[in-house]
Structure 1
Amino acid sequence: MAARSRLSRERVLEAALRVVDHEGLEALSMRRVADELGVETMAIYRYTPSKDDLLDGLVEHLFIELEEMLEGATPPAPHAPPGPRGDAARLWRDALLCIAQAMYRVALAHPHVVPLVATRPFTVPLTRRPPAVLRAHERLLALLGTAGLDEDTTLKIYRAFISWVLGYIVIELREVVDNPDESDPAFRLGLHRLPVKEFPRLRSLGPALAVRGGEEQLTAGLAAILSRYF
C-alpha cells in the first residue's frame, strides 16, 4: 500500500524508461514496469491506462529531457530583417545546431526509445501528442520566426531540420551487431553472411558504416542544409 501511494505518472514513466534502457523495448510490458516499481500490475493502470499510453509516455519523457537540456542552452537568435546574412546568419545556425546536438545527446542516452520517436507520431494526431513534444516543435518554429523569413521558407527549413536530424539519429543508433560475442569485426557484424560477389562494397565498407558519425557529422550535414537559407 505504501509503494502504491507513492506512485505517480512520472514515477511509472521513469520505471518504464529504466526497463527499456537496460533490457530493450521488447522487454517493456505493464507487468514488467509494475515489477520494477514493486507493485501489482493493476496499480499502474491509473497512471498509464494502456501499453500505447506507456509508449507515448516514453516519447514524452525524452522530450522533457530535451526541454530541460535546452533551457538556457540555446544561443539567443537576433532579430533582423528578412533574409539574415553575416553574423546574424551564424547566430541562427548556432541556435539550430544547438537544438540538433541536444536531440542527439538525449537519443544517445536512450537509444532503445529512439524508434518510438520516429514511429509513434504516425499513430497519434498532432494535437493529441504530449505537450513536451508540441513544445519542442513550437520552440523550433518560434526560433525560425525571429529570422524574418516568410512562411514558406520557414516551413521548408522546419521540415528539412526535422527530417535530417531525426533520420540521422535513427540510422546512427540502429542495431548493426550480428553476434556481440565475436571479436573479429567482420564476424561481429555478420558480414560473412553477405556474398562477396553480390555485395562487395557492403563487405568492404561494413565496418566503417558501423562506426557512429557522432555530433560532428550530424552538425556538418545540418550546416550544409541550412547554408541555403542562412
Structure 2
Amino acid sequence: MAPPRIGPTVQNGDPPTSPSPRLSRERILACALEIVDREGIEQLSMRRLAHALGHDPMSLYRHAANKAALLDGVAETVLNELTVDPTDPDWAAQLRAVARRYRHLALAHPNVVPLLVTRPLATPLALRPKGTLRPLEAILTLLTRSGFTGADALHIYRALFGLLHGHVLNELQELVDNPDETDDTLRLGLYRLPIGEFPLLRGLATALASYDGAAELERGLDILLAGLATAPP
C-alpha cells in the first residue's frame, strides 16, 4: 500500500504553493519515505526533503542530524508496520505470518529493501535504531515463551530473516527480458547463455518463467519450519 502524501507535492522543481504545516519527526519521515518510494534512496537529501515539505533545510536538522539518520528513520517507519504477536501459542504459524508480512512490506517499498537488508550490516547491533530491533525482541519473546532457549531463539530468528532477505532480493530481481515472447527461453533471454555451458539452467526455462514469489516463500518456510520442528533440543 502506497504511503500517504505528506505536505505540498513538488512537481518539476516548482516551490510549494500552500502553507506548510508544522514539522514533526513523523511528518519528515513519512515524506522521506514517499521520496524514496517514488524516486529511490539516491534522490533523498536534506535539501530535497525540505523543499518537498516547504521548509528551510536547516529546520530539518532539529529532527534528523543528517541523511544517515533519515535513512535509519525510513527503515524504522517501514518496520513499524511489521507486527509480531509474541503471545501466539503457535510459534511456527506466527513466524509464517511474520514472513508473509515482511514480503508484503518489501514489495510495497522495494526501494527501501537495501536499508532493511544491507544497511544494518554497517552498524553494531546496539547502535541500530531501536525501531529496527523491535521485531527481533518480539520474535525472541515469542520463541522463549514457546520453550526455546534464548540462544536457540536467536538462531531461529537469524535463519528466518536469512531466508527472508534472500527471498525478497531474489523476487525483486526476477525480471523478464522480452515480455512479448511466448517461448520461455526467449522471454527470459536465456538464449544468450551457451547451451554447452549452461544446459541445466536453460532447461529450467519454464520453471524460471513461472516464478511465483508467494509460493516460493511458502516452500522455503515449509523447509525451514519443518527442520526447526524436528531439530533436537
Q: Which bin holds the TM-score, normalised by the shorter protein?
A: 0.7 to 0.9
2:88 matched to which residue of 1?
77
**Cα 1:193/1:169, change in 2 over 3 Å:** same
1:11 and 2:37 equivalent? Answer: no
**Cα 1:129/1:205, change in 2 over 3 Å:** same
Residue 39 (structure 2) aligned to one of 7, 23, 35? 23
Residues 79-94 of structure 1 correspond to what in structure 2 (within 5 A)? 91-94=90-93
- CA deviation string 1:10-53 (max 9, x = no partner): 11111111111111222222222222212232222221221111
State the 1:219 CA deviation.
Answer: 2.5
Distance in 2 separating the partners of 1:135 and 1:163:
17
1:87 matched to which residue of 2?
none
1:65 and 2:81 equivalent? Answer: yes
- Report the residue type matching 2:62 in the other structure: R
Distance in 1 separating the partners of 2:186 and 2:46:
36
- Report the residue type matching 1:53 in the other structure: A
- CA deviation string 1:84-105 (max 9, x = no partner): xxxxxxx221111011111111
Moved over 6 A (4+): 185-188
State the 1:153 CA deviation.
Answer: 2.8
In structure 2, the gaps of 5 or more residues are 1-18
Distance in 2 separating the partners of 1:134 and 1:54:
17
Distance in 2 separating the partners of 1:207 and 1:46:
54
8 Å Cα contact 1:191/1:206 also seen in 2: yes
State the 1:150 CA deviation.
Answer: 3.0
8 Å Cα contact 1:177/1:189 also seen in 2: yes
Distance in 1 separating the partners of 2:50 and 2:185:
40
Aligned sequence identity (%): 45
8 Å Cα contact 1:56/1:130 also seen in 2: yes
In structure 1, the gaps of 5 or more residues are 79-90
- Report the residue type matching 1:164 in the other structure: L
1:166 matched to which residue of 2?
165
**Cα 1:45/1:152, change in 2 over 3 Å:** closer
**Cα 1:6/1:201, change in 2 over 3 Å:** farther
1:138 matched to which residue of 2?
137
1:124 matched to which residue of 2?
123
8 Å Cα contact 1:16/1:33 also seen in 2: yes
TM-score normalised by length of structure 1: 0.77
TM-score normalised by length of structure 2: 0.76
**Cα 1:142/1:21, change in 2 over 3 Å:** same
1:222 matched to which residue of 2?
221
| Structure with higher helix content | 1
- Report the residue type matching 1:10 in the other structure: E
1:109 matched to which residue of 2?
108
Distance in 1 separating the partners of 2:226 and 2:156:
11
Distance in 1 separating the partners of 2:162 and 2:141:
18
State the 1:146 CA deviation.
Answer: 1.3
